[in-house]
Structure 1
Amino acid sequence: MNTPNETAITIRMHEADNVVIVANAGGLKAGTLLDEGTRLLDDVPLGHKVALCDIAAESTVVRYGEVIGYALEPIARGRWINESMVRMPDARLLSELSTEVRPAPELPPLQGYSFEGYRNADGTVGTKNVLALSTSVQCVAGVTDHVVRRIKQELLPRYPNVDDVVALNHSYGCGVAINAPAAIVPIRTLQNIARNPNFGGEVMVIGLGCEKLLPTRLIPEEQVLRLAENAAEATEIRPSPILSLQDEAFNGFGEMVDGILQLAEYHLEKLNRRTRETCPASELVVGMQCGGSDAFSGVTANPALGFAADLIVRAGGTVMFSEVTEVRDAIHLLTSRAKSPEVAQALIDQMDWYDNYLSLGQVDRSANTTPGNKKGGLSNIVEKALGSIIKSGTSAIVDVVEPGERVRKRGLNFAATPASDFICGTLQLAAGMNLQVFTTGRGTPYGLSMAPVIKVSTNKTLSRRWHDLIDLDAGRIATGEATIEDVGWELFHLILEVASGRQLVAADRLGLHNDLVLFNPAPVT
């Protein structure tokens, strides 16, 4: 903690707020006088709230101009407010939400921005050139991991235009209720991940041979069509993209591996012909996500992401924000931003579906907030959600993408996902994301091998301590060294540099990549 004589730096988000958060790196000591005359009665850690007035028991605690809770006890002016002192409000009734829309006027187009990407036959553009080994069942994961190591060591050096080879391992495919209605979520997720722009349409599928999820279901439709066309015209003999380990042609593990390597080499040759070319910024499909959030997430990094999101939309590109439980308590601020009443209703429907899903598990949205979130100053999921949605910017929400679906429209999309970092990332990959921006206040080494992940810190303390893990420091906004617009533009330019392959994100430079995690709301047998 700092001395009481240090100049206090505090942040008030809205004139109606009766709290501020402390922005001094070491927090503030009891006795410190704030600019507006409040004297601290307690030591207050970085990011935590201070009462600006006396708050009676059961009276509202207000931040972002919204009620984030009710005082469980009388709170004197100058006291440190932590999560144990605040009762979370009841969830807003979805049935009372209006679908009347008042989207903001469209911002002027942003022209002249481009990046160097890989154009695909289906019209999408990749930011990486990656060979993906899709899998139809978790049983083969050990084999695919072995093969990926062999490919990287023995084959990849011969194909300099190919960035990487990855195994799309997962825990699905067998021992599951494959025909249950909710099984469509993990199945279409795997189908659409195989179509991610960064894989160039050259996906191969490794199966076992007896699994419930048939490998043929994972082949992108355009790849199946090419196989049929080639067979009919006999212009090129393409091998089947599917290889099953139980195939009787294989005699032992060595032959299985040799078969996969041979198939991989065919696809590597195809991918190696791809080269980067200039593409307009309208071909960006950027996922926005946050993890390890703190009280600064909604003050610095997420507003900067929101500004950059508006720039991408103005350039004709696509942005998706996600994480249902981190949207649920701010949904009333989003429905009016929908492009149409139908989109507003789709937003409400996704909130309702997830409420029911959580109810079946005998929990509610309060299960979202982590111990780290609270240590970082967030009292509950309501406060977290109000800071989370800011990364959506101000543009109209043009569509709602259900879990596992692909984006259909350019512009700002809500891609419904759980808030789990790994599941959200997996579903955004399935939606067609070619680059992700990820904000964190507490810190996380999260990364994806399939798409670059730009890591943005919410506070300077984290960016200094994790200097080689963070790509962009938005904490400068809190200290007045930069504006939201400054960092938003900086992020936009960084996105273009990373998408062009001219700059490596920390996660790629260090090889820090998380596994895919499917969202499977269906029964497991």
Structure 2
Amino acid sequence: MLAEADMKTMGEVPRTIRVHEADNVAIVVNAFGLPAGTVFPDGLVLREFVPQGHKVALADIAAGEAVRRYGEVIGTAREDIPRGAWVEESRMRTPPAPALDALELATRVPAPLPPLDGYTFEGYRNPDGSVGTRNILAISTSVQCVAGTLDVAIRRIREELLPRYPNVDDVVGLTHAYGCGVAINAPEAAIPIRTLQSLARNPNFGGEVMVVGLGCEKLVAERLLPDGQTEGVVRLQDERHQGFGMMLDSIMAMAEARLEVLNRRRRETCPASDLVVGLQCGGSDAFSGVTANPALGFAADLLVRCGATVLFSEVTEVRDAIHLLTPRAETEEVARALIREMAWYDAYLARGEADRSANPSPGNKKGGLNTIVEKALGSVAKSGTSAIRGVLAPGERVRQKGLIFAATPASDFVCGTLQLASGITLQVFSTGRGTPYGLKQAPVIKVATRTELSERWSDLIDLDAGRIATGKATIEEMGWELFRLILDVASGRRKPWSDHWGLYNDLTLFNPAPVT
């Protein structure tokens, strides 16, 4: 057997993380896992190899008995699992989801956190009072048919116009695969249409909305303009367009008029309360819920204390922890709105003959997450400890300060698109397995759950929360470091790696309505 002294000569003492005193499993911290026979300081002996991040039984677990992590039941044992054994996926059953009609509603509302004053960032203030972290011209599309034309136009705008407007960061196309061949009046069509309407109003775009349409699509281009705006549409089928060149000229002329307005914007000192920050995770592993996500949660509390707006999302990665969230809702109305979004998604999955257990990816499981319950309990750590003040349906714009749940699927790209529509101006993204995810429309700070990943992907990861697992930093220290990084990135003083490389994902609409 490998005793502690032997492990020290190999460079690392064997370590596990047990989250809660009621837990009967812990995860292995050591990079690349530990072999059978490893002896831990408390006398625990591994019966078999256990990979990094995977669970080891701290006590004998009988068949049918609950497997506990975070102090919650994450599964039941399919067979007897002896102390020191690897608690891997095939040895566990997923427990049922919490019943939505038996939840506590606003019964344990957290007391308001003490205010945090004096923190600022350099942002772009808009006429409606919102503040962006970027100064971008965004050009919406009403139908996928015009996406290729807009791509050509954007290339020309960047080459011919942007050099004359140095205060504008970029021009982006809000392209998508919607707008025609769809059931435009179906009830659930409200989601993609609302998303497109809200995207155009993101604070990073300065309120200068313009739309490129075709002319025969079901989603009439004018529906994407703000209420009261009567101009701002280039329609390719307009008879005045004599060929492709004139179409491009029309797009560029309308774009230049908006570039002139945006170019007059300057960064100014704004209170941190003007920030709208989205929280997301992707490529999660068993460390997500003990390192990166708790650090995000601590930073979220700091932002809420400053009066800022913080959005957390991903319905399927909240569903199995909903019993921990509805008591935190500020009012019963907010709690019922949480339940509404969970119920809607349950029904949506059922129509597709799927359920929440289909969520964990092969990479999640390789990283030690056996069930969606375990994944959800780690995911909600991003929400911190403050009261939940509001709930947004998919694509709905945020209008409140504080901690908000914005309902989205768990897909990175769909969630990112919907959070942009809700109004985030910066996103913090935690990852355990690693992903080169990024958004062109808002800066993305990527936080690694493990030091090994941060070191291996040193030119993709912006912050290493793995130091929490190795004892080199506390959750509080990492939360403060992330908070300060958010202010720097929002101010343009620091550039995340995704922006350094120009590494961006496409926008992806969530469309649960029929396609005709």
> What fraction of aligned residue pairs are identical, expressed as a percent?
69
Pick the aligned partner of 1:292 from 280, 283, 289: 283
Q: Identify the residue that residue 364 of structure 2 maps to in structure 1.
A: 373
Q: Identify the residue that residue 512 of structure 2 maps to in structure 1.
A: 521
Report whether the alignment pairs 1:155 with 2:161. Answer: yes
Return the offset for 1:3.
9.1
SS in 1 for 2:278: strand
Report whether the alignment pairs 1:182 with 2:173. Answer: no
Question: 1:169-225 CA distances to partner (integer Å, 9 max, x unpaired)?
Answer: 001000000001111110011001100000001121000000000110101226x1x
SS in 1 for 2:485: helix
Q: Identify the residue that residue 457 of structure 1 maps to in structure 2.
A: 448
| Contact 2:3–2:40 (8 Å) recurs in 1 | no
Report whether the alignment pairs 1:468 with 2:474. Answer: no
Pick the aligned partner of 1:318 from 300, 309, 327: 309
Distance 1:3 1:133, change over 3 A: farther
Pick the aligned partner of 1:353 from 307, 322, 344: 344
Q: Can you give the 5+ residue segments of structure 1 that lack an aligned partner in the other structure?
A: 228-239
After TM superposition, which residue ranges in structure 1, 4 or more long, deviate above 2 angstroms? 2-5
Separation in 2 of the partners of 1:422 and 1:351?
Answer: 20
Q: Identify the residue that residue 39 of structure 2 maps to in structure 1.
A: 33
Q: Identify the residue that residue 139 of structure 1 maps to in structure 2.
A: 145
**Matched residue type, 2:511:** N
Q: Identify the residue that residue 129 of structure 2 maps to in structure 1.
A: 123
Pick the aligned partner of 2:67 from 46, 61, 64: 61
Report whether the alignment pairs 1:427 with 2:426. Answer: no
| Contact 2:463–2:482 (8 Å) recurs in 1 | yes
Report whether the alignment pairs 1:207 with 2:198. Answer: no
Return the offset for 1:20.
0.6
Return the offset for 1:349.
1.1
**Matched residue type, 1:199:** F
Question: 1:472-491 CA distances to partner (integer Å, 9 max, x unpaired)?
Answer: 11000000000001110000
Q: Can you give the 5+ residue segments of structure 2 that lack an aligned partner in the other structure?
A: 8-12
Report whether the alignment pairs 1:411 with 2:402. Answer: yes
SS in 2 for 1:198: helix
Return the offset for 1:26.
2.1
**Matched residue type, 2:431:** T
Separation in 1 of the partners of 2:250 and 2:343?
Answer: 47
Separation in 1 of the partners of 2:412 and 2:183?
Answer: 25
Q: Identify the residue that residue 101 of structure 1 maps to in structure 2.
A: 107
Separation in 1 of the partners of 2:25 and 2:41?
Answer: 13
Question: 1:417-440 CA distances to partner (integer Å, 9 max, x unpaired)?
Answer: 110111111111111101000000
Q: Identify the residue that residue 235 of structure 1 maps to in structure 2.
A: none
Question: 1:51-73 CA distances to partner (integer Å, 9 max, x unpaired)?
Answer: 01111111111000000001111
Q: Identify the residue that residue 21 of structure 1 maps to in structure 2.
A: 27
SS in 2 for 1:80: coil
Q: Identify the residue that residue 497 of structure 1 maps to in structure 2.
A: 488
Separation in 2 of the partners of 1:276 and 1:418?
Answer: 34
Question: 1:394-426 CA distances to partner (integer Å, 9 max, x unpaired)?
Answer: 000000011110112100000001101111111
Pick the aligned partner of 1:264 from 255, 259, 265: 255
RMSD over aligned Cα atoms: 1.1
Return the offset for 1:254.
1.3
Return the offset for 1:323.
0.2
Q: Identify the residue that residue 233 of structure 1 maps to in structure 2.
A: none
Separation in 2 of the partners of 1:100 and 1:135?
Answer: 41
Report whether the alignment pairs 1:390 with 2:396. Answer: no
Separation in 2 of the partners of 1:50 and 1:116?
Answer: 47
Question: 1:306-351 CA distances to partner (integer Å, 9 max, x unpaired)?
Answer: 0000000000000010000000000000011000011111111110
Return the offset for 1:42.
0.8
Q: Identify the residue that residue 10 of structure 2 maps to in structure 1.
A: none
1:478-497 equivalences in 2 (<5 Å) = 478-497=469-488
Separation in 2 of the partners of 1:363 and 1:257?
Answer: 45
Separation in 1 of the partners of 2:142 and 2:326?
Answer: 38
Separation in 2 of the partners of 1:49 and 1:61?
Answer: 10
**Matched residue type, 2:203:** P
**Matched residue type, 2:158:** K
TM-score, reference length from structure 2 = 0.97
Q: Identify the residue that residue 53 of structure 2 maps to in structure 1.
A: 47
**Matched residue type, 2:45:** R
**Matched residue type, 2:142:** S
**Matched residue type, 2:362:** P
Separation in 2 of the partners of 1:58 and 1:427?
Answer: 40
Separation in 2 of the partners of 1:350 and 1:401?
Answer: 9
Question: 1:221-270 CA distances to partner (integer Å, 9 max, x unpaired)?
Answer: 26x1xx5xxxxxxxxxxxx3100111111111111111111111111111
Q: Identify the residue that residue 234 of structure 1 maps to in structure 2.
A: none
Separation in 2 of the partners of 1:463 and 1:505?
Answer: 14
* Alignment: residue pair count: 509
